Structure formats: C-alpha cells, structure tokens
Amino acid sequence: MSATVRAPQVPPAAAEDLPAPRRRRRRGRQVGWAFVAPFGALFAVVFLVPIGYAAYLSLFQDRLVGGRTFAGLGNYAKLMGDELFWDGAGRVVLFTAVQVPVMLTLAMALALALDSRRLRGERTLRVSIFLPYAVPAIVATLMWGFMLGIRYGLVRDLNDWLGWSLNPFQPGTTLISIGVMVTWAFTGYNMLIFYSVLRAVPHELYEAAAIDGAGQWRVIQAIKLPAMRGALVVTVIFSIIGTFQIFNEPQILPSLVANSGITTHYTPNLYAYHLAFTGSQQGYAAALALVMAAFTIAIAYAVQIRGMKRALDQ
C-alpha cells in the first residue's frame, strides 16, 4: 500500500513579500475602490434601488376587490394597447422633433456670434443668455403663464390695445408655447457647451485659414462646425432626455390658463403622475415609467452611435 505524499502547503504571500511593483498596483486598486465606493453606494441608493422597486411594482395591480395582486407582465401588455399613453408619447415625440433642432440651431448661432469677438459686451451677453437656465422650472412656468395668458399679462394688454384675439394657450398652440418656454430656458445651457468647445479650438488653425485667405463663413464651415460635432451629439442626447421628461409645464399651466387642451395624459410623465397619485395605480404607473425610460435610452443610444459613426467616417 503506497502512502500518499502531500506537498507542503505554502501560505499565501503576505503583502510585504510581494515585489514592489505588485504592491504598488494593489495599493493603487485599493485606493481607487476607496474613492469610488462613496459614489457607488450613493448611486445604488438613489438610482438602482428606485429602478428595482419600480420594476417590482410594475408586476402588480391594485384592485378594489382583492387589493394588490400579482399580474406578471399584465401591466406592460395593457400599456401597449393604451390609447392615452400613445397619444401622450406621440405628442412628446413631435415636440422633440421640432423643438430640439430649433433650440440647438439657435444655441449654435449664439455660440458662433460670441466666439466671433465682434459683439460688444460679450461677457454680459454670455451671462444674460445663460441666466434663464438658472431660473427654477416652476418659476419660469409661472412667469410665462402670467405673461402669455389672456386673463392678465402681456398678451391680454396687446389684445386690448390692438384689438387682437391672440391666445397662445388654446389647444392648437399650447404645445408651441411650451416649446417657447423650454427653448428660452435651455438655449443658454447648450450655447455654453458649444462656446466652450469653440474656445478650445487651437488658434493655429485660424492663423492657417487667414494665411490661405479664408473668410469668416469659410472658417465656420471648415473649422468651427466640425469642432462642434462632438458637442452636438452630447447636446442632442441631453435635449432628448430632457424633452421626454416634460412635466412641470403641463402640470402647472392648467391652473393659470383656461381651455389649454392639457389633459391628464398630455405627456407620459403627467399620465404616470395622475395614475400613481390620483388613480391609485402605482403598478401601472411604474410600468409606464420603465417603458418610457427604455424608449428614451434607446433613442439616445441610437443618436450616440450615429454621431460616433459620422465622426469616425470623417
């Protein structure tokens, strides 16, 4: 009978026995995780946990008889056939398709004008254009509601003085008025992004263009616009996410103006709010919120991939 000979077990090397480069790498990883840990914990608490809870709620339905019952994917199936949801989603898509290009074109034009150094009071203009972004959304909505409403404010005074019958908040023009409000609030923010990119363009490129005899329009086409391409992708993504989250304006305006055409399903976010806090349908509202989040992520990702592809092609 042969005896089994076991190799002596060597204890794992202590940190002091490791070579110096490995010790430094290990310490570097530990320090890195130590810096990331607070953010990771906060991110999990304020982002991952709410999403997980919303996904859990979306699997249940609240009924008058029986209370909360497990529904599986029933809320999602019901949502696919909900005409009110698709009406609000279509309205937001239309709003995004029109408002975002207008806002970003205006922001780019303002950034180019400020970067030209041909405007007097450049610093004052830059701060003035950016200032609306610092106004809270609720305050901005109240301000525009009072100003454009026909009960009181600027539009009412114009109607009285000139005999007009303008109504910016009738059902056919309410979405346009909200677009004006959003454009006013966020154009300065996007302008600052474009302006920062233009300020980072090397002056050697402008000097070379001047030597070649290029005019201002040629410099814009060949140097400035290509430099803003990456920033344009970022601002488009941010703008899409922002417009799909429209809530303050349609929530506040009905209390300020009459016959605005704003319903409880005017936007998906407003619809989810009324389902959860008025209709006591938390599960259905959670399913709606998750579907809109997935839809927004898909569109933003498609825009990012398309922008990166164009950048690589050029």
Residue boundaries of the structural domains of the chain? 17-57, 82-313
How do strand 67-70 and strand 60-63 relate by DSSP bridges?
Answer: antiparallel
CA distance 228 to 207: 19
Q: What is the model's pLDDT at position 313?
A: 62
pLDDT at 194: 95
> What are the DSSP E strand ranges found in 44-173?
60-63, 67-70
pLDDT at 1: 45
What pLDDT, on the 0 to 100 scale, is given for residue 10?
47
Give CATH for domain 82-313: 1.10.3720.10
- Mean pLDDT in runs of 10 for the chain (314 residues)? 50 54 74 87 91 92 77 91 93 94 95 86 88 92 88 83 85 91 95 93 86 84 88 91 91 86 92 89 92 90 78 60
pLDDT, position 71: 85
DSSP string for 264-277? TTSSHHHHHHHHHH
Q: State the pTM of this model.
A: 0.82
- Cα 171 from chain centroid? 26
Q: How far is CA 192 from CA 108, 121, 126, in A?
A: 9, 16, 8
What was the pLDDT predicted at 193? 94
Give the DSSP letter string of 21-57.
HHHHHHHHHHHHHHHHHHHHHHHIIIIIHHHHHHHHH
User: CB of 195 within 8 A of CB of 129?
Assistant: no
Tokens matching residue 42: 């906060």
The answer to whether the CB of 227 falls within 8 A of the CB of 52 is: no
